[in-house]
Structure formats: structure tokens, C-alpha cells
Amino acid sequence: MNEKKLDFLLRHNRQIRVIGFDDAPFERHTSKPVAVAGVVCSLTRFEGMLWGHIQADGWDSTEQLAQMLLSSKFHAQLHLVLLDGISMGGLNLIELPNLAQQIQLPCVAVMRKFPKLSKMKAAISLLPEPEKRLQILAQAGEIQVQPPFYFQVCGLSAVLTARILQRLTDKGNVPEALRIAHLITSAVLNGESGKRA
């Protein structure tokens, strides 16, 4: 999708502009919408923000994220989309290939550690239409292990993705756009940012 362009930007030390999406803490078994923050960064420098909502354990995360992006002033400037995992608002699973296709940008679901898939599948089995959710999970593709990063990607090679994630990360294994999005959602809902950023 943007492999050559991103490789060029990386090799020539140019700015790579990304948006990182994270969901806010929420009450389980609630009908209240779950807040989602999208933080725009040029490499590790904060440049802007989007704010939206999805349904807890619902089906609208892919469409809502696509709509937020496509209707924003930032879409034309972005090179890459980062997600804090493949699910938001509990088990409102993001259709990674569908999202990448709609917004015409590579999408990367970043995880802090290798997920416990058996636990996730057990939780999915308790929700409506578990087979459909499992299919969305499978469509996200193989979990890539490129230390210190764990991720699923659509629209880029795993090797180039890992190199880009290094440039987008100030320290540790969380790209800055995702780290800031997490701090913002925690602070807005709880009055202060959480311990884990």
C-alpha cells in the first residue's frame, strides 16, 4: 500500500506522521458508549487529536475509526495507523484488512506482550455471534514478534513495520502516539492518567 514511500521516508530520516488509537476505561456490561482517542504524532512529537465513541463489546469499531479518520483534516497527512491491540471497548474487534482498505493506509495493531489467545477466545464464546468474532480475529493475520514489539499488520511487511515502530517509540515498546492516547483516555475518564502508559 505505502511500502516504498515509508521505506524512503525511513531511509532518508524524514518525518513519518501517524495516528494512534486507544480506548478509554469503561464499565463492563454497560450500554454506555466507550470513548476512543486518536493521537496524531510526527514521529514522537504530538500534533493533534481525534475523539470518538464505540459500543462496548459491539460491532462498530472498524466503521467508527474509519469515519473518524476520513472526515478529519489529518487523514491526507497520515502515513500509518496504530491501534492499541485488535479489540477496543472490550471485544469490539477491529477488522484490520477492512480498515486498511477503507482508509487506504497501513494499519498496525500493537500489543505490549504476546496475547493469551485462549483467554480471548473463551471470552468471545460468551458473547453473541462468537463465530463471526473469531473470524475477524483470524483475518487480522499472524502475530509478528519483532523484539521488543508484538503486532499484527495489514499493508506493510513485518520487517519494515518493526523498523518504523522503533522510530515512533521514545522508549520501551509502546509508540508515542499510543502512549499519549492511553494517558489522555485515562485522565479524561478518571481525572488523572493511569500508571501504565
Q: Give the model confidence (pLDDT) of 152-190 as tens digits.
A: 999 999 999 999 999 999 988 899 999 999 999 988 776
Overall average pLDDT of the 144-150 stretch: 94
Task: Please give the pLDDT value at position 27.
Answer: 76
Helix (H) or strand (E) holding 150: strand 149-154
- SS3 of residue 44 by DSSP: coil
What SS3 state is found at 87?
strand
Instruction: Give the separation between CA 63 and CA 171, rounded to whole angstroms.
Output: 31
* pLDDT exceeds 60 at position 197: no
Task: Report yes or no on 141 lying in a domain.
Answer: yes
CA–CA separation, 180 vs 183, rounded Å? 5
What backbone torsions phi and psi does residue 65 show, to the nearest 5 degrees? -65, -45
pLDDT at 150 over 70: yes
Can you give the CATH number for the domain in which 25 is found? 3.30.2170.10
* Model pLDDT, residue 195: 60
* Distance in angstroms (rounded) separating the CA atoms of residues 195 and 127: 30
pLDDT for position 1 = 53
Residue 197 within any structural domain of the chain: no
Q: What is the pLDDT of residue 188?
A: 76
Would 195 be classed as within a structural domain? no
Domain membership flag for residue 196: no
Instruction: State pLDDT tens for residues 159-169.
Output: 999 999 999 99
Average pLDDT, the chain: 92
Grid cell locating 21: 488509537
- Whether 106 is covered by a domain: the verdict is yes
Structural domain range at position 12: 3-189
148 prior amide bond cis, ω within 30 = yes
Is 192 a residue whose pLDDT tops 80?
no
Residues paired with residue 93 on neighbouring β-strands, in sequence order: 87
Strand partners, 35: 53
Residue 174 belongs to a domain = yes
When divided into structural domains, the chain yields a total of 1
- Spatial contact of 54 and 32, defined as CB atoms under 8 Å apart: no
Q: N- to C-terminal Cα distance for the chain?
A: 30
For 124, what's the count of Cα atoms within 13 Å in the CB-facing half-sphere?
21
Q: What percent of the chain has pLDDT over 90?
A: 82
Pairing of strands 17-23, 80-84: parallel
Is a pLDDT exceeding 80 seen at residue 71?
yes
Residue 80, pLDDT > 80, answer yes
Cα distance between residue 8 and residue 31, in whole Å: 45
Residue 194 confidence (pLDDT): 62
Q: What is the mean pLDDT of residues 24-33?
A: 81
Q: Per the domain annotation, does 194 fall within a domain?
A: no
Chain segment 89-145, per-residue pLDDT in tens: 999 999 999 999 999 999 999 999 998 889 999 999 999 999 999 999 999 999 999
Q: What is the pLDDT of residue 157?
A: 96
What is the pTM (predicted TM-score) of this model?
0.93
Residue where the block lists cell 514489539: 149
Domain assignment present for residue 144? The answer is yes
